[in-house]
Amino acid sequence: MGNEVMEAIQRYELCEPCSLRQGFREARASDPRRCFICRGLTTRVDEIRSDILRGLKGYEFRTFSVGLSLPEGMQEREDQLRAEYKLKGRETIKAWLSRNLSERVARATRRRVDKLNPELAILVDLGASEVRLNARPVFIYGRYTKPAGIAQRKTFCASCRGSGCAVCGYSGYDETKASVESTIQKRLGPLLGSKKMKFTWIGTEDPESAVGPSGRPFVVEAKNPRKRRVPRGFVSRTGMGQMRVSGLKLLPSRPLKLPSFKFMTRVAIDSTSRISAEDLRSLSRLMRNVVVEFRRPGEKPAYKRVYRVKAKAAGRGGILAEIKLDGGLPVKRLVNGDSVSPSISEVLKADLKCRKFDILKVEVGRFQYG
């Protein structure tokens, strides 16, 4: 054994694990709590493992990682010793603790360690003796139907406008008003053990829009969920003839972007002039499988396709049209011609206004994942 190693052993009291990690064959600290580096922390690995296992109860996961925050000064003391005696390439105290805890948790749970993309990140603050768990989000695809009058999104509280107050229970939202978002969150959230959800809607609608039997698609991100499986056969209804959520399925990961889609809509149109049956037949012919230009202010024009328009007269000055079109083309603008050409107003040479539109069917393309 070299003189420098002997000097280090004599000068610094080290417990057995800390001594072996430096490449020393013997330990000088009779009491691990007097170890210069860890102050006895290496003897508490099983105790810390037990704390972790208690916290894991109720969580579903197949893979996990263990991250550590060391007590103040611990890593610095090891760095000081190694710099003084030029000890390089050895496992650090943090790496040793992480490895040993990971191995013990893996054996106890029969789950696999994944440092890159774990389903559950276990964060241990050794200085504060705290264990925090952060579950990877789950992404769920589904569809909903609803009658006219039910909003898609939650409504801000009228008293605080979203900042949170006593009236709304500090949620920022009016919980007395039904919405698609609030219904899904209230019923799916507890089943997944998730208190926060983020919604992405495919397509667009108005609060006055009804959504037909095939449903409008959405993706919900459930943050920090305890459960990672969609309840089998989950269907949520707010009442007979009211909103319905169904067709839920788990997506493999966060989609890179929303898929392309086509949709069928039924549009109620008001006209300031009389439109003849022959005009409506011409509209169906001229707007079949036609590419229209949609210009957003300050952006390059977008080109979307209208696949078909089937229209009929509906009362004095009214038109009822069923239109199949690409997603991303605003229905109201297609009707009135605002930034869209050719539009229905343009083809009929009339001043038209979309009174309301309902969603009949949405056809969704494939999701893309990274």
Q: Where are the beta strands (DSSP E) in the chain?
A: 63-69, 112-113, 120-125, 130-135, 138-146, 196-201, 211-223, 236-237, 244-251, 255-257, 261-271, 290-294, 302-313, 318-326, 340-341, 352-364, 368-369
pLDDT of residue 76: 96
The mean pLDDT of 49-74, rounded to a whole number, is: 97
Q: How far apart are CA 41 and CA 203, in angstroms?
A: 55
Q: Does residue 275 surpass a pLDDT of 50?
A: yes
pLDDT of residue 237: 65
Q: Does residue 236 surpass a pLDDT of 80?
A: no
In which band, very low, low, confident or very high, does the pLDDT at 4 lie, cut at 50, 70 and 90?
low
pLDDT of residue 3: 58
Specify the pTM: 0.85
Q: Does residue 248 surpass a pLDDT of 50?
A: yes
Of 26-30, 93-97, 256-260, 320-324, minimum mean pLDDT range: 26-30
Buried b (16+ CB within 10 A) or exposed e, 329-349: bbbbbbbbbebbebbbbebbe
Q: How far apart are CA 102 and CA 69, in angstroms?
A: 15
Q: Does residue 110 surpass a pLDDT of 50?
A: yes
Tell me the backbone φ, ψ of residue 250, rounded to 5 degrees: -80, 130
The pLDDT tens digits of the residues spanning 183-192 come to 888 889 999 9
Greatest mean pLDDT range, 49-63, 153-167, 173-187: 49-63
Q: Does residue 1 surpass a pLDDT of 50?
A: no
The mean pLDDT of 219-248, rounded to a whole number, is: 82
Of 4-13, 31-40, 81-90, minimum mean pLDDT range: 4-13
Query: What is the overall mean pLDDT for the chain?
Result: 91
DSSP 107: H
Higher pLDDT, 117 or 242: 117
Residue pair 147/92 in contact (Cβ under 8 Å)? The answer is no
Q: How far apart are CA 280 and CA 113, in angstroms?
A: 65
In which band, very low, low, confident or very high, does the pLDDT at 169 lie, cut at 50, 70 and 90?
confident
Higher pLDDT, 235 or 356: 356
The pLDDT tens digits of the residues spanning 262-271 come to 999 999 999 9
Q: How far apart are CA 261 and CA 244, in angstroms?
A: 21
Q: Which domains does the chain have, with CATH numbers?
A: 3-135 (3.30.2300.10), 138-251 (3.30.70.2510), 261-364 (3.30.70.3190)
The mean pLDDT of 9-20, rounded to a whole number, is: 85
Tally the residues of the chain.
Answer: 370
Q: Does residue 2 surpass a pLDDT of 60?
A: no
In which band, very low, low, confident or very high, does the pLDDT at 297 lie, cut at 50, 70 and 90?
confident
